[in-house]
Amino acid sequence: MKRISLTQHLIEEQRLHDSIPAELRLLIEVVARACKTISHSVGKGALGDVLGTAHSENVQGEIQKKLDIISNEILLEANEWGGHLAAMASEEMETIHPIPNRYPKGEYMLLFDPLDGSSNIDVNVSIGTIFSVLKAPEGMATPTEQDFLQPGTKQVAAGYAVYGPQTMLVLTTGNGVKCFTLDREMGSWVMTQRDIKIPEETSEYAINASNARHWYPPMQQYFNELQAGKTGVRGRDFNMRWIASMVADVHRILNRGGIFMYPADKREPDKAGKLRLMYEANPMAFIVEQAGGAATDGKGRILDIAPHTLHQRVPVFLGSRSEVERVTAYHKA
């Protein structure tokens, strides 16, 4: 099979669909390069002194791991100087990071979850990086947090890297979903899937069921029906998987179907769910929709949500269309 590199793919996309201007290509390549560096650190583990906690807290009150901070720094440094960005935002930074004045500015804005699945770092289980790309609003002078608060439909690109047995990059620019595998010897990203499609039907679900007693009734009803399997209203058995790295769970679902859920619960009613809209739910929803799946917050399409803060949380139901529609219907009833 002829090897198509990430660069070649991006150039061909631009020629065919006029959808990836040179600055956006640079941005995607720089993010991909940063993910290569993160992958290298992840792979070193204890030998690179990257495991364990950093003894600091992020804005969400979570204890940061060393790799959360290292990955954040790698992405910031890689993206600062290229001239393609106006500003960045990250799970690990309280507020936005405008491009310093010593560098030229571009028209894009980059958001990321530098290290997704932090609880899995120290136990050598798959983790990842998630990113989302927006355009700076027309006439923006000095970027502010407000400029980032655009609905997910405005994303011009989104992707994730998964650091597992293989390191992969999954990418959409609004024209389907492509997957690239890192050739570690050559140091290059090689396309290994051209058009990922999520199977419409599934018998596999992903949820942290230890929270079941805190859920609201629609979630409990849906879950009880899945658990009842053949003996209940669904009339067939379902299987369960939960990796606790959204990237790894979504990657499985892209490849063999399934539904991923992180619902809101009664413990902290004003914190709607655990996952963050701007750099977890939105990019994943964009990818999942581009792969023919669906993504809702239980009420409507995630991509249509008008954000009000950078770190806002959102309930997430995404994956195979039939199950996402069903659980969403229960919430609407």
Q: Could you say which of 27, 74, 88, 116 contacts Mn ion (CB under 5 A)?
A: 116
Provide the mask over 253-282, with x wherever binding to ligand AHG is found by CB under 6 A and - wherever it is not.
Answer: ---------------------x--------
Determine the distance from the C-alpha atom of residue 244 to the mean position of all C-alpha atoms in its chain, rounded to a whole number: 13
Which CB sits closer to ligand AHG, 106 or 117? 117
323 is a contact residue toward Mn ion (CB under 5 A): no
Which CB sits closer to ligand AHG, 116 or 147? 116
Q: Quick one: which segment of 137-145, 215-223, 238-246, 323-331 binds ligand AHG (CB under 6 A)? A: 238-246
Min separation Cβ 242 and ligand AHG, Å: 7
Three-class DSSP category at 124: coil
> Which entry of Mn ion, ligand AHG, none binds 288, CB below 5 to 8 A by partner kind?
none
Which CB sits closer to ligand AHG, 99 or 246? 246
113 is a contact residue toward Mn ion (CB under 5 A): yes
- SS3 sequence of 145-171: HHHHCCCHHHCCEEEEEEECCCEEEEE
The side-by-side arrangement of strands in the sheet containing 167-172 is: 97-98, 85-90, 108-116, 127-135, 157-163, 167-172, 177-183, 188-193
204 is a contact residue toward Mn ion (CB under 5 A): no
Tell me the C-alpha distance between 97 and 1, whole Å. 42
Nearest to 92 by CA among 114, 108, 118, 119: 114
Which CB sits closer to ligand AHG, 9 or 251? 251
Binding to ligand AHG (CB under 6 A): which residues in 111-130? 113, 116-119
244 is a contact residue toward ligand AHG (CB under 6 A): yes
Tell me the C-alpha distance between 269 and 220, whole Å. 16
Q: Is the dihedral of CA 136, 141, 143, 146 positive or negative?
A: negative
Min separation Cβ 9 and ligand AHG, Å: 27
Report yes or no: 74 and 38 within 8 Å, Cβ to Cβ: yes
Q: Which residues of this chain interact with Mn ion, rule CB under 5 A? A: 91, 113, 115-116
Q: Which residues of this chain interact with ligand AHG, rule CB under 6 A? A: 91, 113, 116-119, 208, 244-246, 274
